[in-house]
Chain A
């Protein structure tokens, strides 16, 4: 078990290195001289040169990469071109809303999609199955911002159950926080659930045909034990995998959702940085998202061993 875990952690390192190289080269393959860009319109050539050497832009690329990586390892991702603040500080300020939004979405999705997929499999081809899979397909094909605006219109504007936009910080009480992320989380969960419900349904349907399900039935177990304790547990690996994949695709959804609901999270930070061509911040958020994905992958891998005893060796 420990060896497996250590192996999975080590496997993440080359990935992170590759991502770093990619992020680093990003700023250097995009057109335009960053030094000129940074110096602004009225800068003298001397000022441009000064910036160039301060940012080590005059050194060979591999040396620049070395310096950048060394700094990154010490959580120094440079300063924002726009505000001059350290990138790590900007990200740290924005983590909470994104984390809360993602976690609430994840919990909501797992609570809805997994049982829905399992019940659809149990009642395969019934009305229940058709309706829930129909909704799942709809969730998959409607863009997240459309769902977001529909939710806002009905539940915030018409029924006034939730705020139209904005985020309440945890420091001001977690209940108001939860209230403020309910609609964005539902919008995201709608999209995210589709994939998970379908994969759960397909996996459980397969599992229900297995011999050990026949054994469980011959034991006299009831439908819910057979479905949840025997069929669902045995398909934990594919289901957790697709939850991981879903979390990865959630990143795009978070950026859109945070913009629609005006939530000051990493997604908004990304959008702002991109519109201002604030390269250090862009690099920082990409690195942040990549590291999160690698972490998610690691958690998924570790959960395999937790779910399936055959993987532990």
Chain B
């Protein structure tokens, strides 16, 4: 990979410790996140991968304080952005973080922009909010950002409405909007899922270029292991509200150590083509949990499962080099995949 471009200084930008999230109460409660811990170093791309509904978006929304207060109960030992504690922050304090120190882009650029405001206005809003910029200054910044995200003829686009732009252009506008205050962290929640295959690659390349140019870190949410392999430095694999395996991309691809990761690897085609929804090719479905699973939630679908997997919660096993997996059978998983083509390609 492009190792020479990485600017890892060992400084931690985002650190999340034991994040728990429950939707609703009583019998209807849904335990969406269980002891989720993540950290993002300066300049790196951390990819959060897992199938739809496993809690990827919820993790990020919880960090930003964007979940509905009434429905969601968030508990965490710590959520730190640099030196700032987000876990104990008020809504007012969080507001000063959002769009300023953390930018966020979403899956659906078609509906994520307000149809009745110009893109220039919408990009400039964050600068006016966080920097107290004048209307003219905000417009100037919006123009600079449109240029930065490589939108042709930016001066003319400034006064365009979202419906006048293509999906790829709208996602560029979303990126411009998220980055206008030069945040230290960009959260990209499946930024290319709704786009054409050719546009997907362009958007990912743009995110990567801007990361280097602006020296920011990125959390890239995806359900596509191919995207992880192509762009991320580290990967966290999520299943049913838990991080089941985490580590540098090379390590995880070289030595997959969780039954679920193994399943993802097997369903990854070698030609590198993007195939929507291929994570669903693992038989079985994600359980809905009223409370934290008392075992490995993947056990019922896992080909390596032993009786112990259905009875106990596996704690993270340190596999060296920052690589860890919550799997009792990690050795068996790796042994089985040792001659997998992808694994061998990474050796």
- Report which A residues bind B (CB closer than 8 A): 210-212, 214-222, 225, 229-230, 233-234, 236, 307-310
Contacts and interface: CB of A to CB of B under 8 A. Distances in A.
Contacts of B126: 219-220
Contact of A309 (B116, B130, B178): B116
Contact of B114 (A216, A218, A222): A216
B112 interface: yes
Contact of B111 (A210, A233, A236): A210
B287 interface: no
A264 to B, nearest CB: 43
A208 to B, nearest CB: 10
B177 A219 contact: yes
Contacts of A210: 111
Contact of A233 (B112, B113, B117): B117
Nearest to A307: B116
A219 B99 contact: yes
A9 to B, nearest CB: 24
B98 A217 contact: yes
Contact of B116 (A215, A217, A234): A234
24 contacts: A211-B106, A211-B111, A212-B113, A212-B114, A214-B106, A215-B106, A215-B112, A217-B66, A218-B104, A218-B178, A219-B99, A220-B97, A220-B98, A221-B125, A221-B129, A225-B129, A230-B117, A233-B114, A234-B115, A234-B116, A307-B116, A309-B163, A310-B115, A310-B163
B124 to A, nearest CB: 11
Contacts of A211: 106, 108, 111-112
Contacts of A214: 66, 106, 112
B178 to A, nearest CB: 8
**Most B-side CB within 10 Å, residue of A214, A215, A222:** A215
A130 B330 CA distance: 56
Interface in B117-140: 117, 125-126, 129-130
**Most A-side CB within 10 Å, residue of B115, B116, B174:** B116
B152 to A, nearest CB: 21
Nearest to A216: B114
Those 6 A-B pairs whose CB atoms lie nearest each other, nearest first? A219-B99, A220-B99, A220-B98, A211-B111, A212-B114, A309-B161
Nearest to B92: A222
B128 to A, nearest CB: 9
Interface string B151-174: 000000000010100000000001
A220 B115 CA distance: 19
B174 A215 contact: yes
A219 B112 CA distance: 12
Nearest to B97: A220
A234 B66 contact: no
A216 B114 CA distance: 9
B64 interface: yes
B161 to A, nearest CB: 4
Contacts of B103: 218
Nearest to B163: A310
Contacts of B161: 309-310
A225 B129 CA distance: 10
Nearest to B181: A220
Contact of A220 (B113, B130, B163): B130
A219 B174 CA distance: 11
A220 B66 contact: no
Contacts of A218: 64, 66, 98-99, 103-104, 106, 178
Contacts of B163: 309-310
A127 to B, nearest CB: 15
